[in-house]
A and B are shown apart, each in its own frame.
Chain A
Amino acid sequence: MPEPEKKAALAPDAAAARRYYTDGLIMLSGPVFMAVALYRIEAAVLIAVAVASAVACEALGALLLKGGQTTVRDLSAVFTGAAIALMLPAGASPLLAAAGSVFAVCAAKLPFGGAMHAPFVPAAAGLAFLCVSWPQKVFSYGGVSVAAMLQVKSSIRLNPLNFFDLVLGNYPGPMGTGCIAVLLACSAYFLIRRRKALWAPLGFLAACAAMAALFPRVYAGRLTSVAMELSSGAMVFAAVFLLPDPASAPSGRASGFVYGIFAGVVCMLLRRFGAAEEGVFFAVLIANAFSAFPLPDIAGRFGLRGRFAGLAGKGIRKGGAGHAV
């Protein structure tokens, strides 16, 4: 009598994805804790609904698409749902969070075979969909956010008190992205677990800071402009949690840094010329689209391969799991 089959272990791709998203969820625990501490039951409901919607869609998709892999166990749906909820205002309707999660999973993940093979970051796609469908609801915070102030060229006076308010997220904004201190502390996790993934966020924030300093939208000084731009909206959150997505971001350090710079420039252009006060979600998607172009082998062309092999861009995404994870 043949032995009953044991539950199949995760495929290597799925195992790598699970490792990545487990790390992501550990990093997300900080913003989740802050959001629930500040907004209590509203935040908890929003996060729960978003996560449940994402997981349910993923499970249903795995059932219907019999040729596709089952990716519920890799926790990518949990990560996507939580990230979407944290980028929404605390007073948003749970239906909004559910809609974003459903779109993220059904349109940006399932057709491509899972999060580790999706060319676009699902959470960014979900938020972008919400932005074009319900812009008023996505950006209504019950007060004037820093991003809205920047849009109307209104600035704050940058004294230590206001600076700490900015860093701790004491201004209206998305419920999980305001506390920059927590986000930066969470990003320290990168240094421990995935150092290579840090280059894209660094490039992104460097480009945003440079654009804010060179082309300020407010007239209170370049430092104030940089502080306001970096602390407004979901910029740091997107840099830490969306940009280093292993399926869509380049794997090399130099290419990752360039990718981050490109996304940062596009983000600042969208903030200045775009329709909405926050354009980081669209910037991530545009960067994902352009990252499909093959980069030239810069190191090889200049004879640096071997000497600076670690710095050279090795081209863009390799089509899925197995790199930068």
Chain B
Amino acid sequence: MSWFFDLLSAAVYAVFIQNLLFSGGFGSTEAIRTALTPRRLILFAGFISYFSILTSAACRLLDDIPAVGALGWAAHTAVFTGVLTAVYLLTACALRFGLKASRRFLTTAGIAALNSLVLALPLMNRGAAGSLADSVGTGLGSGLAFILAVALINAGLKTLAKNKHVPRAFRGTPVMFVYVALLALALSGFSGGRFFS
């Protein structure tokens, strides 16, 4: 039962205490661009959670192998990225050949898989020496964190769009960056700092 609570607390931590996007900047490009067209947000976030869980869990299990655990930074990066790529390829093959998924669907899956948010999790879990439950929990939380971030950014962008008083120099991308910065500042109240690197 403690495994379940560890998983849940890791998920809540990833969503609220140290929101992965705002406290670490992971997946911010995807979040900002998705905030403009959030129609497939749930699907996209679901893919992120799916790939995060599988990749984090697989990398965590691989790290238990002494030969893998003793590898240096570069080799670890290569192994983890390879695992992520393999998970994506297996999923894409299943979608493409098993379910006859469309190109757009596969593209969505690809973008959801191959982004900084998904790859950051196994690297962070290794740095924090997290357990398997922590790995799965942060994977689960990553999708929810993404949804929260996109929702907040989208709501803010809509407010900014109605604001005719934004100075010329700040219209568009600049004020959007500042807004995201203040969102990140707001959510740093729980952690007070950033993730371990």
Contacts and interface: CB of A to CB of B under 8 A. Distances in A.
A and B in contact, CB less than 8 Å: yes
Interface of A: 13, 65-69, 107-108, 110-114, 117, 119-120, 125, 128-129, 131-132, 135, 270, 273-276, 279, 281-283, 285-286, 288-290, 292-294, 317, 319-320
A135 B183 CA distance: 19
B186 A275 contact: no
A319 B159 contact: yes
B182 interface: yes
Contacts of A111: 166-167, 170, 174-175, 178
Contacts of A273: 17, 190
A276 B151 CA distance: 27
B189 A113 contact: no
Interface residues of B, number: 33
B156 A67 contact: no
Contacts of B95: none
Given A67-B168, A289-B152, A292-B155, A129 B163 contact: no
Given A111-B175, A112-B163, A119 B193 contact: no
Contact of A135 (B151, B169, B192): B192
For chain A, what secondary structure do more than half of its interface residues adopt (helix, strand, loop), or is it mixed? helix
A61 to B, nearest CB: 8
Given A274-B192, A285-B185, A319 B167 contact: no
Contact of B168 (A65, A120, A275, A290): A65
24 contacts: A65-B167, A67-B167, A68-B166, A68-B167, A68-B168, A108-B182, A113-B163, A113-B165, A117-B163, A119-B179, A120-B182, A120-B186, A128-B185, A128-B188, A131-B189, A135-B192, A274-B192, A282-B186, A285-B186, A288-B186, A292-B155, A319-B159, A319-B162, A319-B163
A107 B192 CA distance: 19
Contacts of A319: 159, 162-163
A292 B156 CA distance: 6
A320 B156 contact: no
Question: In the complex, which of the residues A283, A289, A294 has the most CB atoms of chain B within 10 Å of its own CB atom?
Answer: A289
B57 to A, nearest CB: 27
Interface string B138-161: 000000000000011001101110
B149 to A, nearest CB: 11
Question: In the complex, which of the residues B17, B163, B181, B193 has the most CB atoms of chain A within 10 Å of its own CB atom?
Answer: B163
